[in-house]
Amino acid sequence: MVLVSFSIQRNWYRLTSRSSSEMHQKLRFFQALRFLTMTLVVFGHAVLLLVITPTSHPEKLEMLMHDIGSMILTNGVQITQTFLAMSGTLLAIQFLDFAEQRNGRVGFLYVPMAIVIRYIRLTPVYAFVMLFHATWLSKLQVGPLWRWGSETEQAYCRRNWWTNLLYINNYVRADQPCVQQGWYLGAEFQIFIIAMIMLVTIVKFPRLKIAILAVVLTAAYTVPAIFIYYQNLDGTFVITLEAQRYILWFDRYYLQAYIPTHVNFGNYMLGVLTGLIYVELRKRSINLANNRTFRIVWYLNFLLTPLSMLPSYMFYVNEFDKPSVWMAVYFAVS
Burial of 231 (0-12, 13-18, 19+ CB in 10 A): middle
Query: Residue 307's pLDDT band (boundaries 50, 70, 90)?
Result: confident
* 174, 253 contact by CB (below 8 A): no
Q: Which helix (DSSP H) or strand (DSSP E) does residue 285 occupy? A: none
Query: Residue 2's pLDDT band (boundaries 50, 70, 90)?
Result: low
Query: Residue 192's pLDDT band (boundaries 50, 70, 90)?
Result: very high
Domain of residue 114 covers 4-333
- Write b or e for each residue in 255-264: b if 16 or more Cβ atoms lie within 10 A of its Cβ, otherwise e: bebbbbbbbb
Instruction: Count Cα atoms within 13 angstroms, Cβ side, for 201.
Output: 13
CA 147 to CA 39: how far, in whole Å?
Answer: 27
Q: Which of 171, 196, 201 is closest to 183 using CA atoms? A: 171
What per-residue confidence (pLDDT) applies to 1?
Answer: 58
Residue 5 pLDDT > 70: no
Total number of domains constituting the chain:
1
What per-residue confidence (pLDDT) applies to 207?
Answer: 93
What per-residue confidence (pLDDT) applies to 313?
Answer: 83
Report the interhelical angle of 80-101 vs 29-51 (nearest 10°): 150
What per-residue confidence (pLDDT) applies to 309?
Answer: 80
Residue 235 pLDDT > 70: yes
What per-residue confidence (pLDDT) applies to 84?
Answer: 94
103 sits in the region (left: phi over 0; alpha: psi -120 to 50; else beta) called left
Asked if residue 112 has a cis previous peptide bond (ω within 30° of 0), the answer is no
List, for residues 236-275, the tens digit of each pLDDT value.
888 888 888 888 889 999 999 999 999 999 999 999 999 9
CA 187 to CA 205: how far, in whole Å?
Answer: 27
CA 11 to CA 65: how far, in whole Å?
Answer: 41
Residue 43 pLDDT > 90: no
List, for residues 71-92, the tens digit of each pLDDT value.
777 776 778 889 999 999 999 9
Q: Which of 180, 169, 170, 199 is closest to 269 using CA atoms? A: 199
* 78, 265 contact by CB (below 8 A): no
